[in-house]
Homo-oligomer: A and B are copies of this chain.
Amino acid sequence: MVSGGDAHPIEQESYRIMRARVDFSRWPAGAREVVERMVHATADESFSETALVGDGFVAAAMSALKSDAAVVCDSRMVVAGVPLVASRIPVECYLDRVPTAASGTTRAAEAVQLAAAEHPDRAVWVVGNAPTALHRLVELYDAGVVSPAAVIGMPVGYVGASEAKAKLWESPLRAISVTNTGRRGGSAVAAAALNALARLAWY
């Protein structure tokens, strides 16, 4: 269980309060643990309404983590938010390898391109910041360049975030993805989804 008997007392109390306020019963087991942790980490209860979890997402992501797949993140903040995952398997962010972006693109999109060349398959992809990173990931999947094991697609912001998440949800990647509708997202909620999966896979 995500908040089992070994959790810190503050975490147990937090889950108790949260579950008294938010009804997670529509989610099947597995997806429920993921969405609960997304809300727990952010205290943003809107995620319980906006979250979208692909039918095969939890199984695919757990399988990848159990087989020591790499995790590719779009931002350093996501990496910083998953220390337990990073203590077991490679958790990488390629942003620092792209000092500047060419005209018409972004560093985040170029970093995805670079990461896809090194991780064409089996990686778990986590986008917690840049809409352009998620957009590029789906483009590369459509082009046959990359085949993710699972996708956590939760970019944030006023420009392109809703659209990139809709694009993910309209793609065949949907089955192995978690995302949400709307502008909200971010590194904390993306890291929370990955941390929930890690607990399901390893504990």
Residues of A within 8 A of B (CB): 8, 10, 13-14, 17-18, 40-44, 75-77, 79-81, 83, 106, 132, 156-161, 182-188, 191
Kindly list chain B residues whose C-beta atoms are within 8 Å of the C-beta of A157: 14, 40, 43
Complex alpha-carbon distance, A81 and B186, angstroms: 11
Q: Is the CB of A17 within 8 A of B77?
A: no
CB distance from A39 to the nearest CB of B (A): 9
Residue in A44, A132, A182 with the greatest tally of chain B CB atoms within 10 Å: A44
**With contacts A43-B161, A76-B80, A76-B83 known, is A187 near B188, CB below 8 A?**
yes
Complex alpha-carbon distance, A106 and B14, angstroms: 15
Complex alpha-carbon distance, A76 and B86, angstroms: 13
Q: Is the CB of B184 within 8 A of A43?
A: yes
A21 to chain B: closest residue by CB: B158
Kindly list chain B residues whose C-beta atoms are within 8 Å of the C-beta of A42: 156, 184, 186
CB distance from A71 to the nearest CB of B (A): 15
Q: Is the CB of A44 within 8 A of B44?
A: yes
Q: Is the CB of B188 within 8 A of A77?
A: yes
CB distance from A184 to the nearest CB of B (A): 5
Kindly list chain B residues whose C-beta atoms are within 8 Å of the C-beta of A76: 80-81, 83
Residue in A44, A81, A83, A157 with the greatest tally of chain B CB atoms within 10 Å: A157
Give the 10 A-B residue pairs with the shortest CB-CB distance, closest first. A43-B183, A80-B80, A76-B80, A14-B158, A17-B158, A77-B80, A14-B159, A77-B81, A13-B159, A186-B188
Complex alpha-carbon distance, A184 and B182, angstroms: 18
Additional pairs, 6, CB under 8 Å, beyond known A10-B106, A77-B81:
A8-B106, A18-B158, A43-B157, A43-B184, A43-B185, A79-B80
